[in-house]
Amino acid sequence: MFDKLELKNLSVKYGSDVLLKDLCGSFSRGHINLVIGRAGSGKSTLLRVLAGFHKEYDGVIEVDGTVFEPSGNVSLAFQNPEALFFNGTVEEEVGYALKMRKKSKSEIEPIARAWLQKWGLDPERCWHHHPLELSGGEKRRLALAACTIFMPPVVLLDEPLAGLDAKGQRALADLLAGMTTEHIVIVVTHEPEILLEQSRSLLYLHTGGYKWLEPAEFLRHALKDRNFFPLPEWYRKAVGQFDQSSDLPPIRAEAVCRYVKRREPYACR
């Protein structure tokens, strides 16, 4: 179990392009660490650096004060991880990582069945099905389950909410929040709204630099500047007048209504 993954003057190149320069800061256990930014800002490349797949960088990555070794310590779920299915059944797909770690079939099956259930999949219904026979949301859940079943100390997820309906996104957010007690969970997303409630730190990448922000700081920046991040228009209209507040509500209708009603007693009636 790790507590902190620290970046020290990390500069990342992609060919002749410098995507990130002198990035300093840390990701911690205990909450969801968010990484956001516009296309091309280096979000996904940063995950690949942390996973050990992208080697074009200078600087140091440390975990709890020692040089970080990704091998065996990281799980990375790419965008559209379901496109990477290569086993013939759900059983084989979710158990593959454990099989590669030399666990026996009798050991794998109970672990895999329990892990599928944790990700909202019924093993009794889908155990012998081909992964591509599942629905879109189920494929995403299976792919994420297969990527994380060996429970590495660092879990990296690239756009895990894409392709899920609102209910599925909320369920996934709750599951990821539960994982943070024992794992450093880092999520790249262009839909941070649902995950902000489970986060204390957000890395915002932009052309020419970066900012580390707390969720309330992020919301204040986005309310003041539409180009910073496109918040839902209904949220902007409801709380935009409070953009100086230190306690902005999460982007949920009921939370916003309670907040506005408290600030303006005759609102939401």
- Structural domains of the chain ordered from first start: 1-73+153-213 (3.40.50.300), 81-151 (no CATH), 226-269 (no CATH)
Listed in order, strand segments (DSSP E) in 150-259 are: 154-158, 184-188, 201-206, 209-213
**What is the pTM (predicted TM-score) of this model?**
0.89
Per-residue pLDDT at 117 exceeds 60: yes
Residue 221 makes CB contacts below 8 A (sequence gap 6+) with 204, 213, 228, 229
pLDDT of 227 > 70? The answer is yes
Angle between the N-to-C axes of helices 136-148 and 90-100, in degrees from 0 to 180, rounded to the nearest 10: 10
CB 193 within 8 A of CB 218: no
266 pLDDT above the threshold of 80 = no
- Which pLDDT band, with edges at 50, 70 and 90, does 39 fall under? confident
Q: In what order do the strands lie in the sheet with 32-37?
A: 74-77, 154-158, 184-188, 32-37, 201-206, 209-213
Looking at residue 190, its pLDDT comes to 87
